[in-house]
Amino acid sequence: MGLYFEEFGEDLRVVTRGRTVGEGDITLFSGLSGDFNPLHVDSEYCATTPFGERIAHGPLTLAMAIGLVSQQNLVDATTMGLLDLHWSFAGPVRIGDTVHAVVTTVDRKPSRKPDRGVVTLRLDVFNQRGEQVQTGHLKLLMKRLPGQG
């Protein structure tokens, strides 16, 4: 079970476990999203780019970061909805890179409805070399502790 609104303190800092990006991840995401940009699916093309090899879709890494947060039991079954998302892409994620996220609470506001509140989390995503590859904020509608509203 995830954290309730009241449990997201200003001192929350969670480092997720890692997740290695595989070729299958990129292939599946291409098929699901319909994004077959050659940067993701064409090794010969990528050899001519500054990256020199295929890279993961930015939204794929974003989705993996959110999944890593979910696996930490921070938001499972206590999130009522994603309200807003602001995201920046700072560097490429390559096949074989292992990413993890550092999660911190940025803001917490009660809702007009007594059973919920709004929590803003910052996610900083790093690869195995400690390079920040993505960062962003998620604004989530969260359940309140029973009897707290």
Each residue's pLDDT tens digit, 80-116:
999 999 999 999 999 999 999 999 999 999 999 999 9
- Burial (CB < 10 A; 0-12, 13-18, 19+), residue 32, is exposed
Domain boundaries, the chain: 13-143
Residues in the chain: 149
For residue 149, what pLDDT band results from cuts at 50, 70 and 90? low
- Burial (CB < 10 A; 0-12, 13-18, 19+), residue 60, is buried
Q: What is the pLDDT of residue 1?
A: 85
pLDDT digits (tens, 9 = 90+) for 4-29: 999 999 999 999 999 999 999 999 99
Radius of gyration of the chain (CA): 17
Q: Which CATH number is 13-143's, of 3.30.70.890, 3.40.50.720, 3.10.129.10, 2.30.30.100?
A: 3.10.129.10
* Nearest one of 71, 125, 73 to 97, comparing CA atoms: 125
For residue 48, what pLDDT band results from cuts at 50, 70 and 90? very high
